[in-house]
Amino acid sequence: MKMCGASKRFLPDLKSECLKCTSIRRVFGQGRFQGEVILQEQLSPRTRQLQACCCRMELLDKTINSYLDVWLGPRDPRVKGWLLLENYTPTFIFSVLYLLIVWLGPKYMRNKQPFSCRGILVVYNLGLTLLSLYMFHELVTGVWEGGYNFFCQDTHSGGEADMKIIRVLWWYYFSKLIEFMDTFFFILRKNNHQITVLHVYHHATMLNIWWFVMNWVPCGHSYFGATLNSFIHVLMYSYYGLSAVPAMRPYLWWKKYITQGQLTQFVLTIFQTSCGVVWPCAFPQGWLYFQIFYMISLIILFTNFYIQTYNKKASSRRKEYQNGSTATVNGYTNSFSSLENNVKQRKQRKD
């Protein structure tokens, strides 16, 4: 299918030039450009293609927005015009591209050597650790300043604190786009066993869910899950950042407890969300029921992951220990060294 009728030689320029489509359409629609009268028939084929492309994109965005507004009601005007929030199309496209990379990436890397990415991983995880710490701090202080009610908090009674929460939650939404890099690093390092159904489901859905949250309920009762998740991510990304440094690996003992913390986070979020159902306020009830359903789905998937990763691994380690085959460092299984040995063996086989 051709994109807006454009030929392939125009594709590299379409993205940048389509950004100007609104002004191009308005100017040429009036028939004037720099004081000269120009008829539509006198426009170059490329300009007409750009006009058609941009008009179709605008029509698509307006159609989607009209359906969403009818289905979910009017949006919160406080986020009107914010980056990536005006239309759902960019968020949806990012999600589709993510899923395509998840599908095609391992195939592309199948016959290639894994990348180390050690230095990039340290910087990346440190950046997300600091961002998560910032969001956690701002959310806690915003909730305190706004006098938020734990049991139910609407979206318009917090005053200036509501705007503080909204600004921070936009960063929380945007961080879900950044976190797509988690999966991309797994692909580049050929850690395909870490690209689980849980991992892909969690990453792909969170960006989309938070686009809707930011447009309709960007503060109030929405704060709780994001606050807990930001705290858990401080622990998680600091762990991943330190694990990229070989000298630190023997001392990293809290990975198991990160998963336990995530499960605790989901349970607490269900409890706090249920409070809004039992003792309702002006916060829309439909969002509360959806969050409860989504948290239950994560509990099921994370519990399965926990059992598969730790309980079965513990039993297999006991068997290996009886056979004297487990390598340990400071009392902890050195899975990192075994991974490095596997990489070295692959290199030797290739040579």
The Cα 223–Cα 273 span in angstroms is 11
The Cα 335–Cα 89 span in angstroms is 42
| Cβ contacts of 10 within 8 Å, gap of 6 or more | 46, 49
The Cα 201–Cα 308 span in angstroms is 17
Q: Return contacts of 162-165, CB within 8 angstroms, 24+ apart.
A: 162/78, 162/219, 162/220, 163/78, 163/219, 164/138, 165/139, 165/218, 165/219, 165/220, 165/223
Both tokens of 145, joined, read 């300043």
Catalytic residues: 202
Both tokens of 225, joined, read 């899950």
| Cβ contacts of 41 within 8 Å, gap of 6 or more | none
Burial of 348 (0-12, 13-18, 19+ CB in 10 A): exposed
Nearest to 234 by CA among 175, 161, 192, 162: 175
Residues in the chain: 351
